């Protein structure tokens, strides 16, 4: 089990690792699990926290990783965004030879590009308007970038795919417009992996269109704890390097500044250290 002093990665939810849901890989539905910072439990961004069900939640890392700041940054993505991007890719049915489109150029969307590349996608179309972020998408494996939105984005993706659309689409934004775009760029018989946290009352879903075109939708809160054992070896040996999604570092006193930067989109993802 996990012991004091071990170097570990902690998912964004804790879980017991033994209930029916955990055994099925759906750790976010753990019968005894929960979110950091819930009533009666420590917040995950504290200098020290008590971890419920530590053996079921935490994953031990090699001790020598502590001396490699770059590797530690890559490993930190396993606590959330890399696992969430992987979840989206799986939900979309990404497979070898597939054409994949990713709606959203945030940290999760970029990690979905990396996950799609890792899973063998032949073509990956990243939809995003910020060049710094789409440059990261290209370094992660995107073969094409579409900067347009709405109908123009749909037209651009269909032009890139001989009018058919992508086999697999990741929706990593959560707005009505982004979901409509996702549906409209999905190839008949394709699937959408939905990890964009919904905001706003609209869903952008027309079930009759999805029914007629045999489009599947799967997604939700990513059970990242279940994916760490699979992704960890590839991060450790450098097969994948998600660390570029962290483009700003602050100390604990800079947390408000970090949240402001992400809200204003001047930072992609902020790394918090216990130093200055």
148 domain residue, yes or no: yes
178 and 90 in a single domain? The answer is yes
CB 224 within 8 A of CB 79: yes
Across the chain, which has 276 residues, the per-10-residue mean pLDDT values are: 86 96 97 89 81 94 94 97 98 98 97 98 97 97 96 97 98 94 97 90 86 96 97 98 97 92 94 76
* Number of structural domains in the chain: 3
* Locus of tokens 């590839």: 234
Contact 66, 72 (CB under 8 A): yes
Q: What is the predicted pLDDT for the residue at 4?
A: 80
Percentages helix, strand, coil for the chain, rounded to the nearest 5? 40, 15, 40
DSSP letter for each residue of 149-201:
-HHHHHHHHHHHTTTS-EEEEEE-S-SHHHHHHHHHTEEEEEEEEE-SPP-SS
Ramachandran angles phi, psi of 94, nearest 5°: -60, 135
| Structure confidence at residue 210 (pLDDT) | 96
- The CATH number linked to 168 is 3.40.50.720
Residues contacting residue 84 through CB under 8 Å, at least 6 positions apart: 108, 111, 112, 195, 222, 224
Task: Give residue 276's pLDDT.
Answer: 45
If asked whether residues 90 and 141 sit together in one domain, one would say yes
Same domain, 94 and 156: yes
Domain that holds residue 98: 81-219
Q: How far apart are CA 44 and CA 79, in angstroms?
A: 11
Based on the domain organization, do 22 and 112 belong to the same domain? Answer: no
CB of 166 closer than 8 Å to CB of 187: yes
Query: Do 190 and 272 belong to one domain?
Result: no
In a domain, residue 198? The reply is yes
- Is 2 part of any domain? no
Q: Are residues 112 and 208 part of one domain? A: yes
Structural domain contains residue 1: no
pLDDT tens digits, residue range 62-80? Answer: 999 999 999 999 999 999 9
- 20 & 118 share domain: no
**In angstroms, how far apart are the furthest CA atoms of the chain?**
56
Are 171 and 268 in the same domain?
Answer: no
Same domain, yes or no: 191 and 124: yes
- Do 159 and 181 belong together in one domain? yes
pTM: 0.95
Going by C-beta distance under 8 Å and a sequence separation of 6 or more, which residues neighbour residue 173? 103, 104, 106, 109, 179, 196
Tell me what pLDDT residue 252 has.
Answer: 84
| 3 lies in some domain | no
**Distance separating alpha carbons of residues 177 and 101, to the nearest angstrom:** 15
Token pair recorded at residue 145: 């970038």
For the beta carbon of residue 72, count every other beta carbon within 10 angstroms.
Answer: 17
Q: Are residues 177 and 56 in the same domain?
A: no
Q: Are residues 51 and 120 in the same domain?
A: no
């Amino acid at each position: 089990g996990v012991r004091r002093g071990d170097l570990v990665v902690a998912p964004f939810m804790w879980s017991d690792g033994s209930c029916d849901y955990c055994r099925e890989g759906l750790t976010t539905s753990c019968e005894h699990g929960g979110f950091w910072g819930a009533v009666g439990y420590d917040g995950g961004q504290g200098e020290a926290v008590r971890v419920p069900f530590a053996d079921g939640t935490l994953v031990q890392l090699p001790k020598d990783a502590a001396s490699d700041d770059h590797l530690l940054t890559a490993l930190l993505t396993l606590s959330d965004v890399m696992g969430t991007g992987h979840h989206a890719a799986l939900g979309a049915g990404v497979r070898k030879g597939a054409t994949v489109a990713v709606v959203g150029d945030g940290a999760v969307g970029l990690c979905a590009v990396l996950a799609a590349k890792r899973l063998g996608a032949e073509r990956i179309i990243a939809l995003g308007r910020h060049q710094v972020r789409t440059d990261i998408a290209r370094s992660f494996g995107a073969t094409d970038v579409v900067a347009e939105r709405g109908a123009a984005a749909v037209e651009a993706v269909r032009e890139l795919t001989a009018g058919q659309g992508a086999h697999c689409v990741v929706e990593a934004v959560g707005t009505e417009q982004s979901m409509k775009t996702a549906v409209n760029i999905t190839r008949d018989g394709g699937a959408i992996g939905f990890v964009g946290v919904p905001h706003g009352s609209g869903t952008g879903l027309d079930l009759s269109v999805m029914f007629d075109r045999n489009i599947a939708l799967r997604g939700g809160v990513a059970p990242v704890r279940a994916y760490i054992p699979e992704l960890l070896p590839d991060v450790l040996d450098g097969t994948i390097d998600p660390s570029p999604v962290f483009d700003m570092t602050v100390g604990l006193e800079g947390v408000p500044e970090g949240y402001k930067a992400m809200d204003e989109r001047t930072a992609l993802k902020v790394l918090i250290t216990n130093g200055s």
